[in-house]
Structure 1
Amino acid sequence: MSTGTDVSPSYDEDQGSKLIRKAREAPFVPIGMVGFATIVVYGLHKLKSGGNTKMSVPLIYVHMAAQGFVVGAMTLGMG
């Protein structure tokens, strides 16, 4: 018989503490996020100061580098 108690824990957790808890459970996720953001910022800076290069080619390289970093971080996290 049920006693009327709630099975799931209902506690108040703000976004900061939730992010810290998740980072402790899977430390490669924040590493992947920071790496992705770093590569994108670097690529956009290089694109801005690139001069007369075609815009699509550097964006493709930045996209592939950022995606590769995230997949690598996820793979290391699984291992």
Structure 2
Amino acid sequence: MSIGTDISLSSYDEDQGSKVTCKAREAPFVPIAMAGFAAIVTYGLYKLKSRGNTEMSVHLIHMHVAVQGFVVGAVTLGMGYSMYKEFWAKPKP
């Protein structure tokens, strides 16, 4: 009972991988923002044990502000890059 469509799991995986790389090429600052997010969180967890007499809530607020600032900055740069590509770098007809 074949319907006539041959969909294999390997072609599905390749399609998903190529879709992710295509999206990363369209908006290169999103993967950078995700990597920065992971790096700042890792650094914050590492520094958690040597925070001294700083309260835990203050440490977490500082980490939240750092991560949020990095991600918002990366997304803003990505939007600026996209606008540049779309409006200024386009060849004139």
Specify the alignment match of 1:19 in structure 2: 20
**TM-score, normalised via structure 1 length:** 0.76
Tell me the number of residue pairs that the alignment of Structure 1 and Structure 2 aligns. Answer: 68
RMSD of the TM alignment (CA)? 1.6
Deviation by residue 1:17-66 (Cα, 9 ceiling, x = unmatched):
32211111100000000011111110111012324431111110011000
| Structure 2 residue 45 is the aligned partner of structure 1 residue 44 | yes
Structure number having the greater helix percentage: 2
Q: How many Å separate the matches in 1 of 2:48 and 2:18?
A: 36
Specify the alignment match of 2:57 in structure 1: 56
- Percent identity for Structure 1 against Structure 2: 71
When structure 1 is superposed on structure 2, of 21-30 and 42-51 the one drifting more is 42-51
| 1:53 alignment partner, SS class | coil
Unaligned stretches of 5+ residues in structure 2: 1-10, 81-93
